[in-house]
Each structure stands twice: as structure tokens, then as C-alpha cells.
Amino acid sequence: MKSVTFSRFVNSPRLRQAAKAGESFLVTEHGKPYFRVLPPEKAATHEGAGRHLFQGSAVSPEPIPGSEWGGVR
């Protein structure tokens, strides 16, 4: 696992691209470990990934009250 400084990791598109491609990094700040960048675990299957999208009915038959839309406006 490569060790890189925080500022170098943040400012280097090449390092971020390598991380996106699955390379692991230990990111340090002031010489101490700050965080690790690890590749995600691959799912064994996609089965059931969108099962919730095909519900038979709406979650609630009632319309959403206007007071609930305050944050959207």
C-alpha cells in the first residue's frame, strides 16, 4: 500500500484516478496516518438490487401535505 500526504492526494488527479481504479493508499497528515483508501468489495451478485422499485402500490395513498414541501422550495 502506497503512503501519500493528504495534500498530494487531494491535489493529484492521477492518484485519485488510481484510487478509483482500485489501488490502495495510506493517506497521512503531518507524518501520521489520516485515512486509508481501499477498493470497494465486489458484490457477488446483482440479484435483488432494484427489487424495491417495483412495489405493487404507493407507500402512502394520501398526497404529501404542503407543510412537508418547505425544504424543497
Q: Is residue 21 part of a domain?
A: yes
The residue among 61 and 15 whose pLDDT is bigger is 15
Range of the domain at 22: 1-28
Q: Provide the 10 A C-beta neighbour count for residue 28.
A: 16
Asked whether the beta carbons of 27 and 42 are under 8 A apart, the reply is: no
Give the chain's domain count.
1
For residue range 1-55, what is the model confidence (pLDDT) as tens digits? 899 999 999 999 999 999 989 999 999 999 999 999 998 777 667 776 776 676 6
Q: Is residue 71 part of a domain?
A: no
Q: What is the dihedral of CA 3, 11, 20, 29, to 10 degrees?
A: 30
Q: Is residue 48 part of a domain?
A: no
Q: Is residue 51 part of a domain?
A: no
Report the pLDDT value the prediction gives residue 63, as an integer from 0 to 100. 79
Q: Is residue 72 part of a domain?
A: no
Q: Is residue 67 part of a domain?
A: no
Distance CA 26, CA 41 (A): 18
Report the pLDDT value the prediction gives residue 73, as an integer from 0 to 100. 56
Strands 2-5 and 25-29: parallel
What is the pLDDT averaged over residues 59-72?
76
Q: Is residue 22 part of a domain?
A: yes
